[in-house]
Amino acid sequence: MPSLVRFLLIIGLIAAIAFAAMFALATFVTVTPRPMEQIVPPARLNK
């Protein structure tokens, strides 16, 4: 039983670290939106 508790504790710790990393990225990184436009030549559409 102690090995199961240790396993669950390690999995929980890894999940908490991953959640904290995603939260930090979502909070501290600012994305600058910019328009994206690309002209597709008509020859590529007819293939």
Sign of CA dihedral 36, 40, 45, 47: negative
Position 8 scores a pLDDT of 97
The predicted-structure confidence for 2-47, as pLDDT tens digits, reads as follows 899 999 999 999 999 999 999 999 999 888 889 999 888 888 787 6
Q: What's the rounded Cα separation, in Å, for the pair 22 and 14?
A: 12
Position 12 scores a pLDDT of 98
Q: Count of CB atoms within 10 A of residue 1's CB? A: 5
Q: What's the rounded Cα separation, in Å, for the pair 32 and 43?
A: 33
